[in-house]
Amino acid sequence: MPWLNLSKPTKMIKKILKRLRVHRLLPHQLRQKLALITNYWYDFKVYLKSSSMMDESGREQQSSQLIMRYHAIEKGLSVPSPRKNFGQDKVIQLMDRLDTYRSQFGHDHVVVACLNALSSYLDYSVTGGVCESVRQYLSTIDAVKSNAVLNIKRVDVIESASINFAAFCRSRHSIRNFTGEAVDNSLIEKAVDIAKKTPSVCNRQTSRVHVLRGDKKKRILDIQLGSRGFSDCIDTVLVMTSDRRAFTGIGERNQCWVDSGMFAMSVIYSLHALGLGSCCLNWSFTSSRDQLAREVFSIDEAEAISMIIAVGHIPEVLNVASSPRFPTFDILTIHD
């Protein structure tokens, strides 16, 4: 989009203003407002470039569109009394888009999920509407299919959830004193694998995790500056991100922070369940600091960094911040 290519003149203006030191002559509040506009402009450019708003041709953009549509079918089949032949427009769109995707990117896990949804839709609706089109479509594809809807029992859910979750949550603290012992990759893999069940918008699963150690870990902590006093004992840093390419439309411009934040909390509890300590380090920074981080390790511009997590083994005895919590009814409002 040529009309968005304003990086060169913008950089030139910044250099001129820096040399003239004009910004120092401006009132503080005005400087803050200008800085805010500059950072919103950075977010605007990245979202417009990365998301599906203007271009759906990339693999990530196309797969997210497929996921949105097959998940609509899954949701429709999981309500108490699904309508026969519901969501026919979504079914047609899914088949059309699936052909395009398969021709470009082949047969992958997204394609399998789409076929499962179409097969389950056909099993439920059987006849009428677009069923014949679905039947013909599926007959041309040789694939093992499974049901897109699971039948579960309440007793099994309750039995699986019969742990003292309140005690589990209250026993988790932000750890700022690690042993320095190496954290095995298998533990990180287990934590992320458990966290995959975290809900995400339309099941698009945009969360990504980057594991940093050694010099890269040191450099990212030097940029973040929230680990002073205990950075030397941190073995592993997780950089939590969300892939903006899966989002579409103006309304989803902030969805990356929601999805990544929820996933991060699942990872934190998973680490706790595996006996590892963690400390959340915020990433509330200006665009310039965000760009500095991207020089530390290979990360696509489309990935929004939401936070970083320090991870390590816990000493036998240590001090933690008490961090008192607000009373429940300072947080909770029940609207009758």
Average pLDDT over residues 166-186: 97
Average pLDDT over residues 133-144: 85
Q: How much is the pLDDT for 227?
A: 94
What is the spatial distance between Cα 102 and Cα 113, in angstroms, rounded to a whole number? 13
CA-closest candidate to residue 238, choices 258, 221, 257, 255 = 221
Burial class (CB in 10 A: 0-12, 13-18, 19+), 66: buried
pLDDT band at 33 (very low <50, low <70, confident <90, very high): confident
The string over 20-44, giving b where at least 16 C-beta atoms fall within 10 Å of a residue's C-beta and e elsewhere, is eeeeeeeeeeeeeeeeeeeeeeeee
Given a cut of 90, is residue 171 above it in pLDDT?
Answer: yes
Mean pLDDT of the chain: 90
pLDDT band at 29 (very low <50, low <70, confident <90, very high): confident
Given a cut of 80, is residue 23 above it in pLDDT?
Answer: no
DSSP notation for 156-208: HHHHHT-S-HHHHHHT--B------PPPPHHHHHHHHHHHTTS--GGG---EE
Residues 6+ apart with CB under 8 A from 58: 245
Burial class (CB in 10 A: 0-12, 13-18, 19+), 194: middle
Q: What is the 3-state secondary structure (H, E, C) of 10-54?
A: HHHHHHHHHHHCHHHHCCHHHHHHHHHHHHHHHHHHHHHHHCCCC
Tell me the residue length of the chain. 336
Average pLDDT over residues 47-74: 93
Q: Answer whether 237's CB lies under 8 Å from 221's CB.
A: yes
Average pLDDT over residues 146-168: 91
Q: How much is the pLDDT for 3?
A: 44
> Which position has the higher pLDDT, 14 or 49?
49
Q: How much is the pLDDT for 125?
A: 84
CA-closest candidate to residue 264, choices 233, 307, 227 = 307
> Which position has the higher pLDDT, 18 or 235?
235
CA-closest candidate to residue 190, choices 121, 275, 106 = 275
Distances (CA, A) of 238 to 111, 245, 279, 289, 301: 30, 21, 10, 17, 18
CA-closest candidate to residue 124, choices 60, 89, 61, 81 = 81
Q: Residue 221: which H helix or E strand, with range?
A: helix 214-224
pLDDT band at 18 (very low <50, low <70, confident <90, very high): low
Q: Does the domain formed by 163-313 have CATH 3.90.1150.10?
A: no
What is the spatial distance between Cα 224 and Cα 217, in angstroms, rounded to a whole number? 11
Given a cut of 60, is residue 9 above it in pLDDT?
Answer: no
Given a cut of 70, is residue 1 above it in pLDDT?
Answer: no
What is the spatial distance between Cα 121 and Cα 83, in angstroms, rounded to a whole number? 11
> Which position has the higher pLDDT, 20 or 182?
182
Q: How much is the pLDDT for 25?
A: 67
DSSP notation for 77-136: HHSSSPPTTTTHHHHHHHHHHHHHHHHHH-S-HHHHHHHHHHHHHHHHH-SSTTHHHHHH
Given a cut of 80, is residue 257 above it in pLDDT?
Answer: yes
Average pLDDT over residues 246-273: 96
pLDDT band at 313 (very low <50, low <70, confident <90, very high): very high
Domain ranges for the chain: 2-50, 59-139, 163-313
